[in-house]
Structure 1
Amino acid sequence: MTNPISVQLYSVREHMAADRDATLRRVAGLGYRAVEPYNPADDPKGFRALADELGLTVSGTHAGGLVREPEPGPTFEAVARLGTELAIVPAGIPEQEFTTLDGIARAADLLNGLAEQASGYGLKLAYHNHWWEFEPRIDGVHALEVLAQRLSPRVFLEIDTYWAAVAGAQVPELLERLGERVVALHVKDGPMVKGEPNTAVGTGAMPVRAILDARPDAWRVVEFDSCAGDVFEALAASHAYLTAVRDGRGGPA
């Protein structure tokens, strides 16, 4: 069964801060049937109850507390309460660690250790990239791919396809190389210029169809770091585009 299209709620972070429940209801009203939270420790019980009421699956959650807090246990417990099996490290490893082999080895050790702990809570661990894991190259290989070679099979990846492309990766080919380790995709679009806002999926420069075809079983998670226009209109348009692609009605982009 195909996973429902998800949305990273960081896209509507200001609305979430103002009125979480109304924002989740609005997201569900756009047709989304899955969400990816970014602060699992913020009332996970209440969040799960409302998500269940709205028919929203929690596809995974960003869990920065896993690297920010001295003890990851409470964050793992919060993730489990949300009803997802996927805890995602969204950042927190110093950017300079991805510029040397020794730094990458330290990052791998950290993630491998967290993945082992995650299994004790019935969870899987994934790592989410930005641009700084792709701009550095080690012997011509993107640092993220060097990291992947050193990760335990217990560590999965959520590839932010937009940041990978902005940093110089050919994303469809990248996803083919990384294979089944990639369990989720941040599906984003825009001009592929660092600092410029995102646009609705299907309206920018990203090769969205080729990206989706490269990992057909991964979660599709729409995200806007910033938005050129009304974010809810862009979320609606993105959902419509991805639904059309899923149903075989999408264009060539």
Structure 2
Amino acid sequence: MYKIAVQLYTVREEMKENPVGTLEKVAELGYKGVEFAGFFDIPAEKMKGHLERLGLTAVASHTPLEALENQFDEVIRYNKTIGNRYLVCPWSELKDKESLQEIGLRLKTLIPKVKAEGMELLYHNHDHELKILDDNFLLDKLVEVCDGELGLEVDTFWVYRGGVNPRDYMLKHEKHIPFVHVKDGTDEGLNALGEGKAPVAQVLETVEELGLEWIIVENDNPYPNGLEDIERSMVYLQNK
């Protein structure tokens, strides 16, 4: 059975106001892991202590390419301290052959450096990477440019919004996927799990089939706030 983490971007407003209290609430709701999107000026050793006290695992960290390129040692040191081994590129302007080569080269340069530190570099997609370039998805071509060494944090909702079946895409890239983002929504926007039209149940079945250790809950636009949104998502998952 998979374990449930949350992307803390979902509770970014709460994290800005009270990061430690928000982590405590996340743990109270039943989440076992967190994926970071910034560390809110908390020193690494203190963050490690909070995670250990709350029984939370640092599953991954969204880390902009610029930070990896310009502050590599600092990024690696912080993430190693808190026990995280997955660094995730959260966004890029991947849209055509030119950007494919530019972004691909940047990632390809970083992958061996990250691996040398005992860590993995992943890419988190949105729907624009599911566009076709020549004969394949842009996201697939990005993996090819990186010689198959780039890991994927497949965001199953954005795959769905890109017109692709998330299950099929997960199975296609099984060897590249350590975990996935699970989110729900419609053409109009995002929802807590179970409140939209995305094939969340099928995604969870595929996670089980692939034997993935973690799922990561995320909602870019939580309602009415981050904590209430992730509570509803947890209730949905606990009733599956």
What is the TM-score of this pair, normalised by structure 2?
A: 0.89
Question: For 1:149-177, what per-residue CA distance to the aligned partner results, in whole angstroms no more than 9, with x for missing partners?
Answer: 33244321101111222222221111111
The match for 1:104 among 100, 103, 108 is 100
In structure 2, relative to structure 1, the CA distance for the partners of 1:152 and 1:82 (3 Å cut) is farther
Residues 86-118 of structure 1 deviation map (CA, whole Å, 9 limit, x = unaligned): 111112x3x1x4312x43233222212211111
**Residue 128 in structure 1 maps to residue 124 in structure 2:** yes
* Structure 2 CA distance for aligned equivalents of residues 209 and 178 of structure 1: 19
Preserved CA contact (<8 Å) 2:15 2:40: no
Q: Secondary structure at the match of 1:98?
A: coil
Amino acid at match of 2:90: P
Matched residue, 2:44 = 44
Q: How does 1:211-230 map to 2 (within 5 A)?
A: 211-216=203-208, 217-218=211-212, 219-230=214-225
Shift in Å, 1:66: 4.8
Counting only pairs closer than 5 Å after superposition, residues 1-253 of structure 1 correspond to structure 2 as 2-40=1-39, 42=41, 43-64=43-64, 66-67=66-67, 69-91=69-91, 93=92, 95=93, 97-100=94-97, 102-134=98-130, 136-193=131-188, 196=189, 198-216=190-208, 217-218=211-212, 219-244=214-239, 250=240
Shift of 1:203: 1.8
8 Å contact 2:11–2:225 — kept in the other structure? no
Conservation of the 8 A alpha-carbon contact between 2:126 and 2:159: yes
Task: Return closer, same or farther for 1:47/1:131 CA change in 2, 3 Å cut-off.
Answer: same
- Structure 1: tracts of 5 or more residues without a match: 245-249
Equivalent residue of 1:32, what SS? coil
- Give the distance between the partners of 2:173 and 2:185, measured in 1 at CA: 24
Per-residue deviation, residues 18-44 of structure 1 (Å, max 9, x unmatched) = 111111101111011111111158422
Contact 2:12-2:226 at 8 Å conserved across structures: no
Q: RCO greater where, 1 or 2, for CA within 8 Å and sep 6 or more?
A: 2
Query: Sequence identity of aligned pairs in percent?
Result: 28
- Cα deviation for residue 75 of structure 1 reads 1.2
1:229 Cα shift? Answer: 2.7
RMSD: 2.0
Cα drift, residue 230 of structure 1: 3.8
Q: Distance in 2 between the 1:148 and 1:41 partners?
A: 31
Contact 1:41 1:79 in 2 (8 A): no
**Equivalent AA in structure 2 for residue 33 of structure 1:** K
| Structure 2: gaps spanning 5 or more residues | none
> Match of 1:228, SS?
coil
The amino acid across from 1:99 in the alignment is D
